[in-house]
Amino acid sequence: MKKKTDLSNQQLWRFFVLTFLLSWLMWLPGLLITNNLFNPSQTLSTITNVLKWVAGMGPSLAAIFLIFRRDGKIGVKKLFGKVLNTRLGYWYFPIFLLLPITLVLAHLLNIFFFNASFPKTGLLAEPWWIPVLFVIFFIMQFSEELGWRGYALDRLQKKWNALFSSILLGSIWGIWHIPMFLINGFGQHDNHLPFGQFFLTIVLVSVLITWFQNNTKGSLIPAFIVHALINLSGEVLPLIEKNNEIQGDFTVWIITNILLFLSVIIIVLFWGYKKLAR
């Protein structure tokens, strides 16, 4: 048992170290350019922009490499097979509805208590583009979720209970995003998003994803859907109201995190913190 635990520890450490090395090293040129520490040529600027997006594939690339190194093609095929587990039954309803309902309710509460206005975005005016954008964001999750939930979550839950594993993974997931708050071209940086609110959202959503995944026999479909909905929400129902280019009103984001926290409390009470599943 001890040898298996030690091996699991090594696998997790290797995954997290490799993920951060792959992503952060590729984001480094963008950080240097943003802070005027390096003036690249046009060609190097193009390469840097490509690297910024390739770096986002760090978690999944690390997972595929480590699994292939240990289990070969069979292991990689098994990893991708988790995305093909689409028999989720009635769980599709909370997976698709929990986050959108939370966001709409947060905006309505913001309107009721703080006299805010409901966001008017281009996608709400042309809603037929929403499914198209969702599919694009869903496909993009192959860059991250094969790593975070496909590789790390199972191994974390072999060591700790589901709630602690979710909080720990969510914290690491949030920290991994730090360069995006420091580099031009990322929404986190360009929109001056508050890292504290972002970090809390990431941790809470991490618990929700574990709850979905543990109740759907380890399927990665919930992680793909929820992550895609998070990205989509910024385009449809943004959590900031821009007062000017630098300062925004984050009240609705605070309300959203409160609602997500209440959802997590209810889940823990009814499903238990050990497995978040019955």
> How many CB atoms within 10 Å of residue 244?
7
Token readout for 66 is: 């480590």
List the chain pLDDT tens, one digit each, 278 residues. Answer: 555 565 678 999 999 999 999 999 999 999 999 998 888 788 888 999 999 999 999 999 999 999 999 999 999 999 999 999 999 999 999 999 999 999 999 999 999 999 888 888 778 888 899 999 999 999 999 999 999 999 999 999 999 999 999 999 999 999 999 999 999 999 999 988 999 999 999 999 999 999 999 999 999 999 999 999 999 998 898 888 765 444 457 899 999 999 999 999 999 999 999 999 98
Position 112 in a domain: yes
* Cα–Cα distance, 68 to 154 (Å, whole number): 17
Diameter of the chain by CA atoms? 59
pLDDT in the model for residue 248? 58
End-to-end CA distance of the chain: 26
Q: Which residues does residue 241 pair with via DSSP β-bridges, in sequence order? A: 249
Overall size of the chain counted in residues? 278
Position 26 in a domain: yes
Token readout for 35 is: 């802070």
pLDDT in the model for residue 159? 94
pLDDT in the model for residue 23? 98
Q: What is the dihedral of CA 206, 211, 212, 215, to 10 degrees?
A: 150
pTM equals 0.94
Spatial contact of 267 and 211, defined as CB atoms under 8 Å apart = yes
Half-sphere exposure of 177 (CA within 13 A, CB side): 23
Position 141 in a domain: yes
Position 276 in a domain: no
pLDDT in the model for residue 232? 94
Number of domains in the chain: 1
Position 62 in a domain: yes
Position 278 in a domain: no
pLDDT in the model for residue 199? 98
Burial of 166 (0-12, 13-18, 19+ CB in 10 A): buried
Position 70 in a domain: yes
Spatial contact of 214 and 95, defined as CB atoms under 8 Å apart = no
Position 277 in a domain: no
Structural domain of 124:
2-271
Scored b (16 or more CB within 10 A) or e, 189-212 reads beeebbeebbbbbbbbbbbbbbbb
